[in-house]
Structure 1
Amino acid sequence: MKVYVLFFLLLLACMCPSLAQGTYENCCLRYGSGMKNSIKKKVVSYRIQQTDGGCNIPAIVFKTKRSKTFCADPSQQWVQDLMNTVKQGN
């Protein structure tokens, strides 16, 4: 009986870090190719993704009224323009 309990605890201890690692980050892995003007008008906020932890590219993550997210390259001019528009709207 003790062997089964020990095995179960060891298995549980090995699984916990892998489960936490899978849900720890919410990262952009690539950039979208662009955004339609109709969607740009629905953007309500954005966040800046840094290249730390599991996130390996810098990105701007835009969020729409319906909570959809879009990843964009921060070096693109349209991204900078949209960030300024969102700042002014808030």
Structure 2
Amino acid sequence: METPHSAMKFQILFLFLLLTCMYPSVAPGPMSSYENCCLTYAVVKKKNIGNIGKQVESYRIQESDGGCNIPAVVFTMKNSKTICAEPNQTWVNKVIQKLNKKKADTM
């Protein structure tokens, strides 16, 4: 037979577990920043590299220091889409150099 005291203990325990499970989904911090993280790298064929270089508008460097899991170069294209690229790829460094030169020439 259940007593009112044991029923109240169960309700408190249930509420505690419910709040504990919900906390990560509403808590600010690294978990919520994954929406801005690259999780994989784009696969780019050699024949498309030149086209991508012409369409890139800007880039940012993603570090793997807690907020995101992998290092990446995130290119923002003229159509506002993003491409996540592996930083040590030759074509990635060429596009970065081209963008940096273009930026330096306009200053």
TM-score interval, normalised by the smaller of the two chains: 0.7 to 0.9
SS state at 1:51 partner? coil
User: Residue 77 in 1 paired to residue 77 in 2?
Assistant: no
The number of residue pairs the alignment matches comes to: 84
TM-score (norm 2): 0.63
* Residue 40 (structure 2) aligns with: 30
Unaligned regions of 5+ residues in structure 1, if any?
1-6
Q: Relative CO higher for 1 or 2, CA cutoff 8 Å, sep ≥ 6?
A: 1
User: Mean alpha-carbon deviation: is it higher for 28-37 or for 17-26?
Assistant: 17-26
Unaligned regions of 5+ residues in structure 2, if any?
1-14
The structure with the larger Rg is 2
Q: Percent identity?
A: 48
* Residue 18 (structure 1) aligns with: 25
Q: Which has the higher helix share?
A: 2
CA RMSD of aligned residues (A): 2.5
Q: CA deviation at 1:86?
A: 0.8
